[in-house]
Amino acid sequence: YQGHFSWEKYLKETGSNAAPASCFRQSLTPPVNEFKAGMKLEAQDPRNTTSTCIATVVGLTGSRLRLRLDGSDNKNDFWRLVDSSEIQPIGNCEKNGGMLQPPLGFRLNASSWPMFLLKTLNGAEMAPSRIFHKEPPAPEQNSFQVGMKLEAVDRKNPHFICPATVGALRGVEVLVTFDGWRGAFDYYCRYDSRDIFPVGWCTLTGDNLQPPGSKVVLPKSLGTPTDGSGESPAMNPTPTVGRPPGQRGRKPGRRKTKVMAPWSQ
Q: Name the one range near ligand MLZ by CB under 6 A: 1-9, 84-92, 153-161, 254-262.
A: 153-161
> Is residue 162 involved in binding ligand MLZ (CB under 6 A)?
yes
Is the Cβ–Cβ distance between 64 and 79 less than 8 Å? yes
Q: What are phi and psi of 9, to 5 degrees?
A: -65, -40
Q: Which of residues 201-220 bind ligand MLZ (CB under 6 A)?
A: 213
Return the residue of 85, 129, 145, 157 that touches ligand MLZ, per CB under 6 A. 157
> Is residue 185 involved in binding ligand MLZ (CB under 6 A)?
yes
- Return the sign of the alpha-carbon dihedral for residues 154, 160, 161, 165: negative
Site string for ligand MLZ, 165-184 (x = CB under 6 A): -------------x--x---
| Identity of the amino acid at 42 | E
Q: Closest distance between ligand MLZ and the C-beta of residue 32, in Å?
A: 27
Return the residue of 154, 192, 195, 207 that touches ligand MLZ, per CB under 6 A. 154
Helical (H) or strand (E) element with 55 = strand 48-61
> Is residue 231 involved in binding ligand MLZ (CB under 6 A)?
no
Is the Cβ–Cβ distance between 31 and 15 less than 8 Å? no
* For ligand MLZ, the closer CB: 154 or 207: 154
* For ligand MLZ, the closer CB: 7 or 160: 160
Q: Closest distance between ligand MLZ and the C-beta of residue 236, in Å?
A: 19
| CA–CA gap between residue 157 and residue 125 (Å, rounded) | 28
Segment 83-86 long-range contacts (CB within 8 Å, at least 24 positions apart) = 83/27, 83/31, 83/132, 83/133, 83/134, 83/135, 83/136, 84/135, 84/194, 85/135, 86/43, 86/44
| CA–CA gap between residue 1 and residue 208 (Å, rounded) | 6
Q: Closest distance between ligand MLZ and the C-beta of residue 184, in Å?
A: 7
Q: Closest distance between ligand MLZ and the C-beta of residue 118, in Å?
A: 40
Binding site for ligand MLZ (CB under 6 A): 154, 157, 160, 162, 178, 181, 185, 213
